[in-house]
Amino acid sequence: MSNGSTPPTSRRPARTLLVVPAALAALCCAGCGAVGNGNGDGAASPARPGPERPAAAGSHTPDGRPTGQDETDGKHSDGDRSNGGKSDRDKGDEGRGGPLRGKVVLIDPGHNPGNRHHTAEIARKVDVGNARKECDTTGTSTNSGYAEASFTLDVARRARTLLQKEGVKVVFTQDGDRPYGPCVDERAEIGNDAHADAALSIHADGAGAGNRGFHVIRPGVVHSGGADTRKITGPSRDLADHLVGRFVAATGSAPANYIGNGKGLDTRTDLGGLNLSRVPKVFLECGNMRDAQDAARLTDPAWRQKAAVGITEGITGFLRN
């Protein structure tokens, strides 16, 4: 994972016929480039995989670009767009009509592609209620260099598009629109400020080879300092259950074989993104980037679309329940 712990919008600038060849060529490329692990909620314990792992170096993305090409230019994988001075992180994107109009979902694409260029800033400690942890981490990557931060943005943008079709207002914590971060405490606060009906932090794990599958991390009970999860643990467990069932159905992936006793569920009290949330929230580790079989899925745009479908169906099922 890589935490605490991101799908394209429909608004694009007009293009002329002169750029059609470039647009067609872009369709041949898969995903965004980047590197990353972990949850961003701090450094992961060596004995336990999960949200906060250090990044591994890689040379190229699966589509042949040098790792990091998309990480510093501030561009979106779906093309540049103007929000009139406001990013999606600030204002959210609301679907036009749809059965779930009026519902708000916070999507947190784990890490930020620019984090690796701001190691000092993301290393500073923040209060997560029951501890102090790093502001964020770089995340992990596949052995070939495809970054978790690129993966999370791509899947998050895809899910945003699908959720908007249901009428959901989608708020992002970051959309590749800031140099680094936000820190894990701010990621939680963005969901709180949006009064989200559900919040999801998207990640991919960085466990050892042979460890495969996805898992959903639920908040445990924390009542310490600025953290109080007692009101959200129940609905967060319900959200996790919906996600597990729909993610299996949509992607064909199995629950993790190395955590959660084969049920695809884990409970943690050390992640700031969960501890500080006042709205129902979970983390989704979509697979293990360091396992060849999982990596083949995570780097496949078609599978990432399936992941977005599973995420959308899990969230909408929870919202309708």
Choose among 192, 194, 284: nearest CA to 241: 284
Q: How far is CA 21 from each of CA 9, 50, 56, 70, 177, rounded to the nearest angstrom?
A: 22, 41, 35, 20, 27
Is 285 annotated as catalytic? yes
Residues 6+ apart with CB under 8 A from 273: 3, 4, 5, 39, 40, 41, 51, 108, 184, 187, 188, 201, 281, 283
| Beta carbons of 221 and 227 less than 8 angstroms apart | no
Neighbours of 99 (CB within 10 A): 13
Angle at 158 between CA 147 and CA 80, to 5 degrees: 80
Distance CA(43)–CA(133), nearest Å, equals 8
Look up residue 289 and give its two tokens. Answer: 């980037």
The residues that bridge with 218 in the sheet, in sequence order, are: 267
Which residues lie below 8 Å from residue 289, measured CB to CB, with a gap of 6+? 37, 140, 141, 142, 146, 148, 151, 204, 205, 206, 295, 298
CA angle 281, 55, 41 (to 5 degrees): 30
Catalytic residue, from 134, 148, 166, 285: name it. 285
**Residue 130 to residue 6: CA distance in whole angstroms:** 26
- Alpha carbon distance 86, 94 (integer Å): 14
Which residues belong to the active site?
285
